[in-house]
Amino acid sequence: MALKKSELYGSLWQSCDELRGGMDASQYKDYGLVLLFIKYVSDKYAGHPYGAIKVPGEVLKDIKNVHLSVYPPAGRVRISAPRRMNLGTIRVFAISRLDWIKQQQKKLRGQERETSRDYVERESHWVWGKRYLLHIIERDGPPSLELRHKRMILYLRPGTSEQKRGEIVEEWYRAQLKAAVPALLSRWQPLFGVGETDFFV
C-alpha cells in the first residue's frame, strides 16, 4: 500500500478533523497539526517529491480507538482502527508514528531469541513458566496434546510433518491463552473501571 504526497496533502484536513472527534476546534488547533504533518513528510522525504509513502497493513474493527502494534520477531506492524475511520486518516496516523515503529523494530532485532523448534522427542517447551519435555505418541485418530507431570505429550497420526506438528502445538497454546484471559479480565476490569472488552489471540 502506498500513498503519494499529493494525496496526503488533500486528505490532511479531513483526517485531522476526524481525529479531533468532539473536541472544540480552537482547542485542538488542527491547523497547526496540518503544518506539522506537512513539515514531517517534507523532512522525511526530502529530495523525493513523488516518493511513495509505504504504510503498514490495517484492520478495521468494532473498536473505539486506534491501536498500533509491532510484533516479534521481525517487527511486523499492524494497525487496528474503528470502522468509522477512513483510509486517509489511518495512513496519516501511521506516518506520524514511523519513528516509534522503527525504534520498536530496532529493539526487537536486538533481543535474544529462542532457537527454532523442531518438535522432536525430548525437546524443551515452556508453559506458564514451567519446562516440559516433548513426548510424541503416534496413533490413528485426531491430534491432541496434554501435560502430564513434566512431559508435554503430543498425540499424532503416523507420518505427521514437522510443520503440522508446529501448527498443532501453536494452536494448543492459543487455546490455553483464550481459556485464561476471561478470568484475568473479570479480575482487572473493575480495578480499571472498564466494561466488557473483546480480546483476540
Task: Dump pLDDT digits (tens) for 7-59.
Answer: 766 676 677 667 666 666 666 655 555 556 666 666 665 555 555 545 555 57
Residue 174 CA to residue 162 CA, distance in Å, equals 19
Predicted confidence at residue 153, as pLDDT, reads 96
Out of 21-25, 54-58, 146-150, 191-195, least confident range:
54-58
Q: Give me the sheet containing 58-61, strands edge to edge.
A: 58-61, 76-82, 67-71
Neighbours of 61 (CB within 10 A): 13
Task: Dump pLDDT digits (tens) for 92-129.
Answer: 788 788 888 888 888 888 877 667 789 999 999 999 98
The phi, psi pair for 80, rounded to 5°, reads -110, 130
Predicted confidence at residue 121, as pLDDT, reads 94
Task: Calculate the average pLDDT of the chain.
Answer: 79
Of the pLDDT bands very low, low, confident and very high (cuts 50, 70, 90), residue 88 is confident
**Apex CA 171: angle with CA 122 and CA 69, to 5°?**
115
Quote the cell numbers at residue 197.
472488552
CB 65 within 8 A of CB 43: no
